[in-house]
Amino acid sequence: MAPRPWSHGHVVAIVEAVCAVVAAGYLVVIGVSAEVEGTAGRSAFDRGLPFLAALVVLALLGRWAVRSWRTAERERAHHQPGHREPGRVELPGTGAAGQAGAEPSGDGSIHDSPRDEQPEVRPTLSGPGRDAVAKVVSVLADAEIFRPQVPDPRLLEQAVADHGEPVTVQAVLAALHEADYWNPGFRFDDHTAALAFHDSHVEQDPGSLRHQIDDLARLTAGEVAIVAGDIDVEWVDGVRAARTRVTLTVGGERLALDYLGTAKQLSTVIPVAVARTLRGLPDGKRPTRRLAWLWSDQGVWITVLPAGVDLARLDADLGDLLEAGVGWEWVDEQQPMAAGEE
């Protein structure tokens, strides 16, 4: 069956592009109108501000639109007839035989030989960009965020380049999802036993909420058991909110959560409640690791770190590779956000 020409991701990209043009156009109209009314008492900066704002809005929203379109195209490519599921590729120097036909490319990344179908255009990073990817991987590896294996940064470079420079921690983490498109054989699960990603804009139905709880259970497995119970989502008449009721057990403690969620906007009531319960368990049952998270414009990355880790030091080690104003946080110290109550 032929793939659909348009997906939800394509529609999102088009909406973002239209918003970029409309918003920029509105600001230009404001600037032109002000010029028509007269410039007396206005500095050159005041006169140019609407036009500068229009350029910034167009660049920012336009970049989001391009990123959404590329993501949709990658997802469609994965569902094309004949698309080959990735196998394992061994890195040079490991002493193990690689996948048949796998060979290093000229830029140091690993992919299948030219006889296998590959993307025609392979994005590349600048030298400083490659160094930034390597630094992010090194810092997060030292914090034990990549488990059971640390990814080779070369295998992430093209996925990060697809996001664009400057390189950010969030882009490197997102590349874990996308690296297998550029390097068939890259295995997401090899590096994310201590990581979970919760999308900010995904169906918040019982199945999705159960998956979120299962992620938290996976992260704490071996120390504390987390088990999902009943999950019920009921739409509230006349409003966009959904009454959400969730029961679960955390280390034997039963939680009953009741909050207003929405159809497609992530709430953080569940992870915050779980994190606080973990920290409140008595000695002997309390885990040695705490839930921590890092937000991006697409959602939140959740991990488990030793309770004594200095998150300020971790952020300092990452420096300006973190997106502005965003850093690692202990989940149990945050206020829960119910999307339907915002």
Q: Per residue of the chain (342 residues), what is the pLDDT tens digit?
A: 334 455 566 677 788 788 888 888 888 888 788 777 776 667 777 777 878 887 888 877 777 777 666 666 555 544 443 333 333 333 333 333 333 334 444 333 444 433 345 555 789 999 999 999 999 999 999 999 999 999 999 999 999 999 999 999 999 999 999 999 999 999 999 999 999 999 999 889 999 999 999 999 999 998 999 999 999 999 877 667 889 999 999 999 999 999 999 988 999 999 999 999 999 999 888 999 999 999 999 999 999 999 999 999 999 999 999 998 899 999 999 999 999 886
Within a domain: residue 324? yes
Confirm whether pTM is higher than 0.85. Answer: no
CA–CA dist 43, 250 (Å, integer): 61
Same domain, 179 and 301: no
Within a domain: residue 91? no
pLDDT value of position 13: 72
Residues in a beta bridge with 226: 250
Out of 62, 78, 94, a domain closes at 78
Q: Which domain holds residue 181?
A: 121-190
Within a domain: residue 12? yes
Inter-residue contact 299 to 170 (CB < 8 Å) = no
Same domain, 175 and 61: no
Out of 49, 78, 107, a domain closes at 78
CA of 152: how far to CAs of 42, 156, 167, 294, 303, in Å? 55, 7, 16, 21, 20
Looking at the 3D structure of the chain, how many domains does it have? 3
Same domain, 202 and 333: yes
Inter-residue contact 248 to 275 (CB < 8 Å) = no
pLDDT value of position 269: 97
Same domain, 153 and 216: no
CA atoms within 13 A on the CB side of 297: 13
CA–CA dist 195, 179 (Å, integer): 16
Within a domain: residue 85? no
Within a domain: residue 58? yes
For 92, phi and psi rounded to 5 degrees? Answer: -60, 145
Largest separation between any pair of C-alpha atoms in the chain: 75
Same domain, 29 and 162: no
Within a domain: residue 98? no
Same domain, 49 and 140: no
Kindly state the tokens that stand for 310. Answer: 């200095």
How many other β-carbons are positioned within 10 Å of the β-carbon of residue 142?
12
Within a domain: residue 84? no
Neighbouring residues of 163: CB distance < 8 A, sequence distance ≥ 6: 67, 171, 174, 175
Dihedral, CA atoms, 142, 160, 191, 336, nearest 10 degrees?
80
Same domain, 183 and 216: no
Within a domain: residue 284? yes
Neighbouring residues of 308: CB distance < 8 A, sequence distance ≥ 6: none
DSSP symbols for 98-128:
--TTEEE-TTS-EEE-TTS---S------HH
Same domain, 199 and 337: yes
Same domain, 165 and 201: no
